[in-house]
Amino acid sequence: MDYVAEVTLDERESFESLLRRFNRKVQQDGILAEFRRRAHFEKPSVRRKKKEAAKRRKSTRSSVERRSRS
């Protein structure tokens, strides 16, 4: 897969502003996260266990938030 984050320089835009927009675009597209995920091979069983653990973390987090709102 080829990922290309592209931003165009607007008139009178500073380099810092352009860089911030680029970084935000890369973050939103998930390019770095995908790169880190693919940096080392993961067995399917390990991938599945990580996914289940993330699901469990998310469900406990949401249940804690629901309790705190009450």
Report pLDDT digits (tens) over 10-26: 999 999 999 999 999 99
* pTM for the model: 0.57
Exposure of 28 in the CB half-sphere (CA atoms within 13 A): 8
d(CA 23, CA 1): 20
Spell out the domain ranges in the chain: 1-39, 42-70
Answer whether residue 64 shows pLDDT above 80: no
pLDDT of residue 2: 64
pLDDT at 43 over 90: yes
Tell me how far apart the alpha carbons of residues 6 and 21 are, in angstroms, rounded to a whole number: 10
